[in-house]
Amino acid sequence: MKPNLSVSLGRLKLKNPVLVASGTFGYAEEFRYFMNLKELGAIITKTITLEARQGNPPPRTCETAAGLLNSIGLENPGLEAFLKEKLPYLSKIGVPIIVSIASEYDPKEFIVIAKRLDKIKTVCAIELNISCPNLKSKKLISQDAGATYDLVKDVRRLTRKVLITKLSPNVSDITEIAIAAKEAGSDVIALINTLSGMSIDIETKKPRLGCIYGGLSGPAIRPVAIKMVWDVYQKIKIPIIGMGGIIDTQSAIEFFLAGATAIALGTANFINPGIAIEIIKGLRQYCIKNKINSIKELTGSLKCQN
């Protein structure tokens, strides 16, 4: 038996549902030593902004119980340098490239970047990162349903590329935001970005991150992420890319059962840079063992007893 692992994210067809999450895989080149990159379902790039950003002051990461706190602050080379220096390598890999974008100051920057990417054939989809908790703005776009709707609508008007909206867990009701993104024309919802968090060194009495607080990722956030995928899956019927604390096949499968069509690996790439390929193999074995012909059958197949 050869199970079918292919899935669709809107018009984007993937040979398998295992993606690498934005910001945890760079622009892929460094990971070529650990895997055949061609085997991935898709690559989501580190978020880019219009202008280059140096990011936040160090220390930018620290480990916490079953998790990782980071406040990278969207360090990236900026749109033009990305197109010149990073995209040519990515385009040659032979897997769909999803470019993650954000604005630094003005949401209009999303429009400028999306317009430019729209003309580039090797960019298969655009992920709107409206959920980065490590910038100095008071409120995230993804913390406001109206602002989410307006931004997605504006970008939708100017591109036919598959549009993915990445949501923040730092809200009281993530389904409201997911509905707003869907109604504005998002093809796919990605969740979750990191949870806002903080850690303190009791000897120095200083915060362990240079920026005081940051975003928590890794296994510590997995139950929160699974619940949010489940909640959103109940409300909207567009594909969900689930992420948050996936470190092995078992944790990946939890996300499919909760309603994800595809999954993305973040912090796990730092623990084991070849983990994505192991999980693709693990999904295949799980399907064989459980006589599942297509991975699509797993999505939302959670059995709840009433």
Give the catalytic positions in this structure.
132
Binding of ligand FMN by 243 (CB under 6 A) = yes
Nearer to ligand FMN, 46 or 292 (CB): 46
The 208-237 contact track toward ligand FMN, x by CB under 6 A, reads: ---------xx--x----------------
Tally of CB atoms within 10 A around 38:
9
212 vs 288, beta carbon nearer ligand FMN: 212
266 binding ligand FMN? (CB under 6 A)? yes
**Which of 42, 46, 179, 197 is the binder for ligand FMN (CB under 6 A)?**
46
- Does 252 participate in binding ligand FMN (rule CB under 6 A)? no
Under rule CB under 6 A, residue 22 binds ligand FMN: yes
Question: Cis ω on the peptide bond leading into residue 88 (within 30° of 0)?
Answer: no
The answer to whether residue 77 forms part of the interface with ligand FMN (CB under 6 A) is: no
Is 166 one of the binding residues for ligand FMN (CB under 6 A)?
yes
Among 14, 50, 74, 101, binds ligand FMN (CB under 6 A): 74
Q: Which is nearer to ligand FMN, 184 or 243 (CB)?
A: 243
Segment lying near ligand FMN (by CB under 6 A), choices 67-75, 173-181, 196-204, 228-236 = 67-75
Using CB under 6 A, count the residues that bind ligand FMN: 27
The residue from 70, 143, 168, 251 that contacts ligand FMN (CB under 6 A) is 70
If binding is defined by CB under 6 A, does position 68 make contact with ligand FMN? yes
Among 72, 141, 174, 179, binds ligand FMN (CB under 6 A): 72
3-state secondary structure labels for all residues of the chain: CCCECCEEECCEEECCCEEECCCCCCCCHHHHHCCCHHHCCEEECCCECCCCECCCCCCCEEEECCEEEECCCCCECCHHHHHHHHHHHHHHHCCCEEEEECCCCCCHHHHHHHHHHHCCCCEEEEEEECCCCCCCCCCCHHHCHHHHHHHHHHHHHHCCCEEEEECCCCCCCHHHHHHHHHHCCCCEEEECCCEEEECEECCCCEECCCCCEEEEECHHHHHHHHHHHHHHHHHCCCCEEECCCCCCHHHHHHHHHHCCCEEEECCHHHHCCCHHHHHHHHHHHHHHHCCCCEHHHHCCCCCCCC
Q: Does 100 bind ligand FMN (CB under 6 A)?
A: yes
Cα–Cα–Cα angle for 279, 11, 254, rounded to 5 degrees: 30
Q: Residues 180-209 vs ligand FMN: string with x where CB under 6 A?
A: -------------xx---------------
**Is residue 99 involved in binding ligand FMN (CB under 6 A)?**
no
Considering beta carbons, is residue 5 or 21 the nearer one to ligand FMN?
21
Q: Buried b / exposed e across 258-280, counting CB within 10 Å, b at 16+? A: bbbbbbbbbbbbeeeeebbbebb
Q: Which residues bind ligand FMN (CB under 6 A)?
A: 21-24, 46-47, 68, 70, 72, 74, 100, 129, 132, 166, 193-194, 217-218, 221, 243-246, 265-268
